[in-house]
A and B are shown apart, each in its own frame.
Chain A
């Protein structure tokens, strides 16, 4: 059994639970009796003891009192708050207050949530913390005067001096009112002064007070049973709170996420300020937050470290010392990053003695070595730190751990351990070539945009219009630069002292010119029908972010280092490579070898969605206000007036009003007339010119400079990132390696085909061949004016109106299709002589996608057809046959024929094939009727070339041959359910003739229909002769992915309407009848599927009902979390524009979506696992392999090998007890964490046990898979024994075999 590889799970269960309980108990007791104030020291220690358990685990010295306290800043807050209330509750009748504690708690909860909901800088009233202010100058004065700043740091760190103790105490008491604190103190008559009287100043005196009250509670233990229930509820709540108090262990409860969000926005703000050199602003901002207790509690150590880093760069030890004091005050504990900054600073001032810092680090349990393995260095930071250390330990060497752990999944054990036979594919390039490609790619990314030629034919007449537009653009550019400058001045002055986040630093990251370029570029992509404000704003904001990230990398001086490492890395891939390791391993090793200089890993944070949208909206606002054009520019008959080119208006979508930005018709006209000859894209839109940087962690890989997320996520959702970060590196290796392999496939353009497509595109397009026609072919929008309207009857008017709406819709659809095709073809054309690569990432279920958005191999028939492998391989003995079979597959014919049958068919139509290849546009055009015409044509050409070559077996083919999974979802279900009949019908069990599940279902439905027709059912009789594969296909395919009867009926209705002869009046009844029959046939054929689906659905329902989000781990160790949450809207207001964004991930899970999506998502995750496994093992077999989800591509010669690997890996995957492990994981995660209320947990464990029954069906199927000879035999047995248990069958078989 394979152990759940996620250390955080264990970690959570082992360490956090006792701690949570302790905190919780203390809290309950404290709340229960808030009159008697007493201190018992042992109690404090009890709490501490449980805490230090965690402290130790996270590398803290248990001795460090402050460390422990700061570990739980949140709990601390809760406690001191309770303390404050204690003071206030003074003198009240004990029993009365006893009954009030529940009320108080709910009150507290309310204020708490309210506080959390406060957006930074919006509703928050500054809490005057006079103490903090008084104290700060005092301390800093003292420390500054001690000349040696280092001393400051260490003194503070020692933290045992009375002075410091008092500081912290004061800090911890911030929430006591000034009056309440002394009163509370005065009312402590029986204080056991065990702890030097300072015991009262222990971090959490109230906890200990609580203990005594427990006795009181015992006295009233029999109180009310109902109260007990409340306590239970409370326990749960408190658990959640307590968890949220630990930032390094962010759980998926809502509060932790709120914290994460606040921290993220503060971090981004600080980073932006620092980047644009506005250190003052950053410092003020952080101090502003620090001084308000309510906000200070939201900060984490990383935020202080940002400022430390800045001071370190300035070599200002005084400031560093101050920062340490602030950290201390905030109740946080310096981490590696803080010490790193301190050392860096000292490295810049080599006169200082840093022994104490190092000693202090040691005391804090932070080994110096870890500095170099855990911290991210920018510019010369690493050298400075080293210099600092060398003054103390001249012979210090940062030892980098060069031992690579391997992935723990048994599925890839062989892959990583048995490498002797592995022949990793090499590329057909020399090292120099690769290096040259790299430098070209680098310069493209540094420019961050790229301008390429459009394939749209040039019209000679439009030169004048082109100039006109160019001049206008210059005018707009100037106006916008001016406006932006002005806007910045206003923003800068208006937010001088406020603590609130302002846009100002985000507007200073780039040159004004860059912002304006981004704005003007967005204008040319604006569709004539306009774009919603939200989308436009998001695009603009993201562009700024991208450009910022690229600049940041330049700023951090990591480009040189990247070039250096890449140039060495390229050796691995080059044709004469002597290495036989995986790309990731090689890169990792190189990085370790070149440890000096900045880190390659950027540590910049992705901006919160809110910031992106707000920034974008600001830019849109500038555009709307300041881009104008003369109204007579196109038609001098009009009066000259300066009119805006963009308008902000509203559209209404089912009662919702949506902000919309529309271009003025004049602008649209100008753009259409000018017919731009060039297109400008962001650099990441283009495929890469060199092999992508291998993914070495979830944060680093793909493009050279452009930031890329390894896992795509819904905007605003960062749970995936958090999960991935918590993952052990080794566990992700298999996933990273498969992404790398997919990205390393080199491509080039099939030029003859591209030319044909472009010629059609520039002619009139062709809807039949999926080449979108130009706008000139669009239907004219009918117009009618008042004069005409008199002559129309109202029916005609109504008709006309409908026409107008339809025409408009059609036009905008055509426009977007045309633009999409234009982009794709222009990119392909630009790449026509290049070899290029698609870096890959994945969605939240692990399905992989190429990163470039428009042009990639996942696209339509057209784009797939123009792509071929850059590498050519001889066809070999069977290659030509595979090409022919592939051709038949592309036509969509002969679905039920065996491979031999398909081959035979291909041979019988060789004339058509050759004719298509030779005269694609003027011949018989056989290819045009295929399912995938363009790929068919490409394949015809390849076959023609091959058969005409002297020896087809030696013909070098670049052509990718596809192997489709047959209804993958059902395959996985059949395998999970060990369901032999189902498995046969989706080709899991080899048969002579390929099975076609769709035909199978159609046949079954037909049987039902005949039976019903005989019974006299009208609709069954009507349907005679209409039930075909095509009618049921879509529904069968989507059933696995959770289509409902409702959706299924709509699908079938659509198919029936396409049949001309079918009587229209029966469509509704017939579709209703058919969907019912399809569902029952599937039930009949796939016995296990339904059960598994139901089990998954029910589990997900229980989990999400309890307020948790459904999570699981794929057999390859990839953590998955479903991003469906109830939506919460936030308003973004910028000047006059305002828009609502629905923000995800903070809210409670959306039960319906969580539950409905779990089965399909789970199956998708298995599917992706299977693909990744196949990719990995194909890699060690030296194959070129790419995938389009469940369709795998390779060279013709290697198809057989790939098929073998594919099958083997499927068996291997399903030999794992997948359902069992899922069930264990769910139980462990959701039951043990006590997140579930009792009744739900009972049902969940019940449900989970059910899944074992499914599994008891044994390994029958797998056995047949590995012994295909017996497959048919077994099949008949299963039918025979159907009512019996599968066990009987298995036993029977084993008897026979003996």
Chain B
């Protein structure tokens, strides 16, 4: 097919040759044949828009682009067409591989195809490790990407659609590995450009004072990343592989769109007092605090180290009766840094606590 497209498979394509995206009809059909339930970008205009947001200087950027589950490869070709230097497609579905591999051999190293599901990286279970499940270090070593400093420029941009069923747990998993600097974040500040449901986005961005939606989940993401909403696209614009329409989860929050969200880890996330080794305690602390948003912060602190609450709050310049749901993510970070410095907390059980595996999907 790809061969037919240009009729000259003997010569590697140059980077300025234009790739045909194929017929929308045909691509739709192919996407729908996929055995697992997924959404795909088929519409060329949408692909173009996503590419645009990954830019603007795709040709200049040194960051490798990881495309998750490209399917028929519309976005892949669009990315290549706009001059992306290095695209790695991580395709979990075997049936899409031959076509992508054919494209790979046509090109001169701009495209690498790996049988891998980004969302099954570093599984927790003890099951057999067969593609598409994979360890990150194998993936990155194979691709020749080495570990980088946290403050270096973004080494990898990931683009994809978070699978609807595991959306929340995936985001948690990524959050844990981010704070621990494990998995993909060993290789630097990997930037995510993900389509997530609107409701999840709104929860992610919930502000203090919104007692219903401001939770540890959003607070920690906001603390760790610079989050940008790039684009909202109605659900209907995506092609679903299921025979039945994938039901859009109901929510008290608006949920009419998929949101393209960019999550860039903050350069200054880690400091002298917050390091990947004690970040787990920070995560723990925030989760405990925000389990009940209407609890008083001072009570929580006193629980960990009696009488230290008022002192800490004073140091933070906060009111003594401040509720946990009114504290900003950055303030939690500062608070933790104070806690960590304070001698009084060394006896606290807060440090004894190890977060047990919270998700079926696993993390660590």
Q: Is B237 interfacial (CB-CB < 8 Å)?
A: no
Inter-subunit contact A665/B277 (CB<8 Å): no
Interface positions, chain A 251-280, Cβ under 8 Å from B, are none
Q: Is A221 interfacial (CB-CB < 8 Å)?
A: no
Expressed in whole angstroms, the minimum distance between the Cβ of B301 and any Cβ of chain A is 13
Q: Is B168 interfacial (CB-CB < 8 Å)?
A: yes
Q: Is A582 interfacial (CB-CB < 8 Å)?
A: no
Q: Is B101 interfacial (CB-CB < 8 Å)?
A: no
Interface positions, chain A 205-235, Cβ under 8 Å from B, are none
Smallest CB gap from A1066: residue in B = B128
* Chain B residues with CB under 8 A of A802: 364
Interface positions, chain A 794-833, Cβ under 8 Å from B, are 794-795, 797-798, 801-802, 804-805, 808-809
Interface positions, chain B 138-193, Cβ under 8 Å from A, are 147, 168-169, 180-182, 186
Q: Contacts A1064-B128, A1065-B128: A797 and B276 contacting too (C-beta < 8 A)?
A: yes
Inter-subunit contact A647/B349 (CB<8 Å): yes
Query: Which of the residues B186, B288, B347, B359 comes within 8 Å of A794, measured between beta carbons?
Result: B186
Expressed in whole angstroms, the minimum distance between the Cβ of B6 and any Cβ of chain A is 39
Q: How far is the CA of A798 from the CA of B182 in the complex (A)?
A: 7
Expressed in whole angstroms, the minimum distance between the Cβ of B39 and any Cβ of chain A is 22
Query: Which of the residues A654, A665, A805 comes within 8 Å of B349, measured between beta carbons?
Result: A665
As a 0/1 sequence over residues 74 to 100 of chain B, the CB contacts with chain A under 8 angstroms (1 = contact) are 000000000000000000000000000
Interface positions, chain A 635-668, Cβ under 8 Å from B, are 638-639, 641-644, 647-655, 657, 662, 664-665
Q: Is B108 interfacial (CB-CB < 8 Å)?
A: no
* Chain B residues with CB under 8 A of A798: 180, 182, 364
Q: Is A187 interfacial (CB-CB < 8 Å)?
A: no
* Chain B residues with CB under 8 A of A789: 275-277
Inter-subunit contact B168/A655 (CB<8 Å): yes
Q: Is B247 interfacial (CB-CB < 8 Å)?
A: no
Q: Is B358 interfacial (CB-CB < 8 Å)?
A: yes
Count B interface residues, CB 8 Å.
Answer: 35
As a 0/1 sequence over residues 82 to 112 of chain A, the CB contacts with chain B under 8 angstroms (1 = contact) are 0000000000000000000000000000000
Smallest CB gap from B361: residue in A = A654
As a 0/1 sequence over residues 337 to 364 of chain B, the CB contacts with chain A under 8 angstroms (1 = contact) are 0000000100101001011111110001
Expressed in whole angstroms, the minimum distance between the Cβ of B63 and any Cβ of chain A is 21
Query: Which of the residues A638, A786, A804 comes within 8 Å of B354, measured between beta carbons?
Result: A804
Interface positions, chain B 185-206, Cβ under 8 Å from A, are 186
Q: Is B266 interfacial (CB-CB < 8 Å)?
A: no
Query: Which of the residues B181, B295, B347, B360 comes within 8 Å of A638, measured between beta carbons?
Result: B347
Q: How far is the CA of A172 from the CA of B299 in the complex (A)?
A: 53
Query: Which of the residues B168, B277, B358, B360 comes within 8 Å of A652, measured between beta carbons?
Result: B358
Q: How far is the CA of A1136 from the CA of B299 in the complex (A)?
A: 11
Q: Is A1068 interfacial (CB-CB < 8 Å)?
A: yes
Query: Which of the residues A638, A662, A665, A805 comes within 8 Å of B364, measured between beta carbons?
Result: A805
Q: Is A784 interfacial (CB-CB < 8 Å)?
A: yes
Inter-subunit contact B287/A652 (CB<8 Å): yes
Smallest CB gap from B284: residue in A = A649
Query: Which of the residues B128, B277, B288 comes within 8 Å of A1067, measured between beta carbons?
Result: B128
Q: How far is the CA of A785 from the CA of B137 in the complex (A)?
A: 24
Q: Is B303 interfacial (CB-CB < 8 Å)?
A: yes
Inter-subunit contact A649/B306 (CB<8 Å): no
Expressed in whole angstroms, the minimum distance between the Cβ of A133 and any Cβ of chain B is 39
Q: Contacts A784-B277, A789-B277, A1064-B128: A644 and B288 contacting too (C-beta < 8 A)?
A: no
Interface positions, chain B 273-316, Cβ under 8 Å from A, are 275-278, 280, 287-288, 291, 295, 303, 306-307
* Chain A residues with CB under 8 A of B287: 650, 652
* Chain A residues with CB under 8 A of B276: 789, 794, 797
* Chain B residues with CB under 8 A of A805: 354, 356-357, 364
* Chain B residues with CB under 8 A of A642: 306
Expressed in whole angstroms, the minimum distance between the Cβ of B292 and any Cβ of chain A is 8
Q: Contacts A647-B349, A650-B291: A797 and B354 contacting too (C-beta < 8 A)?
A: no
Q: Is A631 interfacial (CB-CB < 8 Å)?
A: yes
Interface positions, chain A 772-806, Cβ under 8 Å from B, are 784-786, 789, 794-795, 797-798, 801-802, 804-805
Inter-subunit contact B128/A794 (CB<8 Å): no
Interface size grouping (class) on chain A: 35 or more
Expressed in whole angstroms, the minimum distance between the Cβ of A1252 and any Cβ of chain B is 39
Inter-subunit contact B303/A644 (CB<8 Å): yes
* Chain B residues with CB under 8 A of A638: 347
Inter-subunit contact B354/A654 (CB<8 Å): no
As a 0/1 sequence over residues 875 to 896 of chain A, the CB contacts with chain B under 8 angstroms (1 = contact) are 0000000000000000000000
Interface positions, chain A 294-325, Cβ under 8 Å from B, are none
Query: Which of the residues A647, A657, A797, A1067 comes within 8 Å of B303, measured between beta carbons?
Result: A647
Inter-subunit contact A801/B303 (CB<8 Å): no
Smallest CB gap from A808: residue in B = B354
Inter-subunit contact B307/A641 (CB<8 Å): yes
Q: How far is the CA of A784 from the CA of B277 in the complex (A)?
A: 9
Inter-subunit contact A786/B128 (CB<8 Å): no
Q: How far is the CA of A941 from the CA of B329 in the complex (A)?
A: 69
Inter-subunit contact A794/B181 (CB<8 Å): yes
Q: How far is the CA of A1136 from the CA of B275 in the complex (A)?
A: 34
* Chain B residues with CB under 8 A of A1068: 127-128
Q: How far is the CA of A567 from the CA of B277 in the complex (A)?
A: 70
* Chain A residues with CB under 8 A of B130: 1065
| Residue of A652, A789, A809 ringed by the most chain B CB atoms within 10 A | A652
Inter-subunit contact A641/B349 (CB<8 Å): no
Q: How far is the CA of A795 from the CA of B140 in the complex (A)?
A: 13
Smallest CB gap from A664: residue in B = B349
Inter-subunit contact B358/A653 (CB<8 Å): yes
Q: How far is the CA of A789 from the CA of B352 in the complex (A)?
A: 17
Q: How far is the CA of A652 from the CA of B215 in the complex (A)?
A: 13
Expressed in whole angstroms, the minimum distance between the Cβ of A355 and any Cβ of chain B is 65
Inter-subunit contact A657/B291 (CB<8 Å): yes
Expressed in whole angstroms, the minimum distance between the Cβ of A651 and any Cβ of chain B is 7
Smallest CB gap from A802: residue in B = B364
* Chain A residues with CB under 8 A of B147: 794
Q: How far is the CA of A804 from the CA of B354 in the complex (A)?
A: 8
* Chain A residues with CB under 8 A of B169: 654-655
Q: How far is the CA of A239 from the CA of B237 in the complex (A)?
A: 49
As a 0/1 sequence over residues 1065 to 1077 of chain A, the CB contacts with chain B under 8 angstroms (1 = contact) are 1011000000000
Inter-subunit contact A643/B168 (CB<8 Å): no
Query: Which of the residues A641, A786, A1064 comes within 8 Å of B278, measured between beta carbons?
Result: A786
Q: How far is the CA of A664 from the CA of B355 in the complex (A)?
A: 17
* Chain B residues with CB under 8 A of A644: 303, 306
Query: Which of the residues A639, A655, A665, A808 comes within 8 Å of B356, measured between beta carbons?
Result: A808
* Chain B residues with CB under 8 A of A650: 287-288, 291
* Chain B residues with CB under 8 A of A809: 356
* Chain A residues with CB under 8 A of B364: 798, 801-802, 805
Interface positions, chain A 157-195, Cβ under 8 Å from B, are none
Expressed in whole angstroms, the minimum distance between the Cβ of A331 and any Cβ of chain B is 43
* Chain B residues with CB under 8 A of A786: 275, 277-278
* Chain A residues with CB under 8 A of B344: 639
Q: How far is the CA of A1065 from the CA of B128 in the complex (A)?
A: 7
Query: Which of the residues B168, B349, B358 comes within 8 Å of A662, measured between beta carbons?
Result: B349
Smallest CB gap from A628: residue in B = B306
* Chain B residues with CB under 8 A of A1067: 128
* Chain B residues with CB under 8 A of A795: 137
Known: A639-B344, A794-B147, A797-B182. 18 other contacts (CB 8 A): A641-B306, A641-B307, A644-B303, A647-B303, A649-B303, A654-B359, A655-B359, A657-B291, A665-B352, A786-B278, A794-B181, A794-B182, A795-B137, A797-B180, A797-B276, A801-B354, A808-B356, A1136-B295
Contact sample, A vs B, 25 pairs, CB 8 Å cutoff = A638-B347, A642-B306, A644-B303, A647-B303, A649-B288, A649-B303, A650-B288, A652-B355, A654-B358, A655-B168, A665-B349, A785-B277, A789-B277, A794-B181, A794-B276, A801-B180, A801-B354, A805-B356, A808-B354, A808-B356, A1065-B128, A1065-B130, A1067-B128, A1068-B127, A1136-B295
Question: 6 smallest A-B Cβ distances: which pairs?
Answer: A789-B277, A650-B291, A652-B358, A794-B186, A643-B306, A798-B182
